[in-house]
Amino acid sequence: MENKGTDEVEKLKTKFLSAWHNVKYSWALKSKTYFSRNSPVFLLGKCYHFKADDEDSPTESCSTEVCDAPPATGGDDVEAFRRDFASRVWLTYREEFPALPGSSLTSDCGWGCMLRAGQMMLAQALILHFLGRDWTWSEALALQPLDTETWTTSAAKRLVASLEASLQGERPSDPGPMLHAPGAPGRAEEADIHQREVYHRTLVSWLGDSPQAQLGVHRLVELGLVSGKRAGDWYGPAVVAHILRKAVEEATDPGLSGITAYVSQDCTVYSADVIDSHQSCVTGGADALPLTDSRAVIIFIPVRLGGEKTNPEYFSFVKSILSLEYCIGIIGGKPKQACYFVGFQDDSLIYMDPHYCQSFVDVSTNHFPLQSYHCPSPKKMPFSKMDPSCTIGFYSRSVQDYQTISHELSKVLLPSANEKYPAFTFMQGHGRDYNLSAELTPEKREWPFIRDPQSSAATAGDFVLL
């Protein structure tokens, strides 16, 4: 009887907490992010210039939501930036999904923001892998800006409208209106567009909020249990990097067999380990040979860019990283918030915010709505507010790609006059060659961030201000 009473109390606490988080995180006040017309904007390796051809234009800033730029080069770039940003996959808090492993929680509101940021970075790697950096979603510019109604309510309305339209036969079964746009070229291009939308939808379904989703929050929480993390706990950027690696490595969907992940050790990327990750052996006995470049590799590098605050000497380094097309962004945050950094302008970072509570979407259904997985509104924050604990991500398609990446990054990582220590380094050989894990247990090798239960000190890799 006592156990039953305790269970009822826990259920009530969960319901009250869920209700509070719903109020706190699902209300989205309409706000605009302003960008200078006089400085370039970088978004995951792409550069955009908002300045119009008229050099004497009095307008010095514009919003990407409502911008009265003239139909010149500047205006075209504003639209191109909006399309590019809105095409990135946006993962946020969700509610009313199936209970998470090891708990009765049906929402990640209030604690899952770093997991969501990690999912967004992983989504960008998958976009590069399947669609390429130049891909944009055909409906990106049709997204409505966040209004003063809850985003959850807005998403629900769109879902109902979509279902009604499909029942009445008003919408074609193909993914986007561009597929049947007047004057569209031949069938080959239509087939290509359709195939890209299939990849897009499949990619989002892998990140869905159900136990069956290969890279969904349920799977990430399940893997976190091995490291002592439970649903409702705080996750640091280093912890999430290792969880994402395990999720990608253990994914069973055939579509994910051509990609794997690697996490650096103590801010060091061991080139031989990455090259080994690129290669996989053909099954066939002792004579099996490695297949060169048979897999792409997502490289996660947990770093710390200062002490209590980010060292200003690293600001230019972060800018250089986000200017590279093979960079898949940075997960980290600012005090009390985790977020996904995707670009910058001047001294401000551009990021995607997971702190919106949206309704559960069943991604196992055909033609599930995609709108709530894309964000129409970028946000900015000063570099000075960036938490020093973060994880940087890169996508490497082949061994040759990795050699180019390591060569280019080695130049970026050269010590400056004031900052003698690079954020991370590249080393030849394998990590085991340096005897780093000789005295570690197998569990510690697999999950290096697990704390020693006899030690109360937090590890640097697990530290993050959320």
pLDDT in tens, 344-396: 999 999 999 999 999 999 999 989 999 999 999 899 999 999 999 999 999 99
Catalytic residue among 49, 194, 355, 430: 355
In the predicted model, residues of the chain with pLDDT beneath 50 are 20, 23, 26-29, 57-59, 66-73, 148-152, 154-156, 158-159, 162-163, 166, 169-185, 282-285, 451-466
Give the whole-angstrom CA distance, residue 124 versus residue 132: 10
pLDDT digits (tens, 9 = 90+) for 398-454: 999 999 999 999 999 986 666 678 999 999 999 988 866 555 555 555 555 554 444
Is 93 in a helix, a strand, or coil? strand
Give the whole-angstrom CA distance, residue 190 versus residue 179: 6
Tell me which residue of 328, 202, 210 sits closest to 253, measured CA to CA.
Answer: 202
Structure tokens at 255: 């579509």
Angle between helices 187-206 and 113-130 (to 10 degrees): 150
Active site residue 355: yes
Catalytic residue among 353, 375, 390, 462: 353
Confidence at residue 144, expressed as pLDDT on a 0 to 100 scale: 80
Confidence at residue 251, expressed as pLDDT on a 0 to 100 scale: 96
Confidence at residue 455, expressed as pLDDT on a 0 to 100 scale: 42
According to DSSP H, which parts of 289-341 are helical? 315-322
- Quote the pTM value: 0.81
DSSP 202-265: HHHHHTSSSTT-TTSHHHHHHHHHHTT--TTS---HHHHHHHHHHHHHT---GGGTTEEEEE-B
Catalytic residue among 62, 109, 113, 339: 113
Tell me which residue of 262, 260, 294 sits closest to 406, measured CA to CA.
Answer: 262
Residue 41: left if φ>0, alpha if ψ -120 to 50, beta else—which one?
beta
Angle between helices 399-412 and 315-322 (to 10 degrees): 150
Active site residue 113: yes
